[in-house]
Amino acid sequence: MVKKYWILGTLFPALVILDQATKQLIHSRFRLHESIPVIEGLFNITYVRNTGAAFGMLADANPAFRVPFFIIVPLIALGSIGWMFHKLEARDLRMAFSLTLVLAGAIGNLIDRIIYGFVIDFLSFHHASLGQFPAFNVADSAITVGVGLLMIDMLRNPKAFETEKN
């Protein structure tokens, strides 16, 4: 089996299962906005429902726009990322890892939007002098790390990301 597909076949389901299991645990055992300190003054587990995008962007948009938008756009993105993954050279394992993280995170949050109409967030970091960071989840973490790794690759090897010009 080509290693890039081994990465996809193992990491993708593991992340989606971890994401959905942690969200289900929070959804079934916490009341909305209930918070439990884990590291006093720094980190809480807090049940939040995010109807928007990252950091709550578009949360206040009209639901007639917001709901289809947050279903259609991720599906288009998933198709594009899947196509990129398929086109990857078999030896480009770092890119396969990065794209798998983004795919798994996008699917994890899309599942929430389809089932609940919102994304369950629960990892809440805060500090007295720095303020509150928006709550997030395992899927958000996977997307952030995946995109971060892609950006590092782009900075280290920009020619690999150039498209052919006719």
CB 71 within 8 A of CB 114: yes
- Pick the catalytic residue from 60, 112, 121, 153: 121
121 included as an active-site residue: yes
- Phi/psi at 62 (nearest 5 deg)? -55, 130
112 included as an active-site residue: no
Q: In whole angstroms, what is the distance from residue 112 CA to residue 104 CA?
A: 13
Q: Which two tokens stand for residue 67?
A: 């709901």
- Pick the catalytic residue from 60, 92, 140, 153: 140
Q: In whole angstroms, what is the distance from residue 20 CA to residue 13 CA?
A: 10
Q: In whole angstroms, what is the distance from residue 135 CA to residue 49 CA?
A: 9
65-to-71, 75, 79, 82, 127 alpha-carbon distances in Å: 10, 16, 21, 26, 35
The residues annotated as belonging to the active site are 121, 140
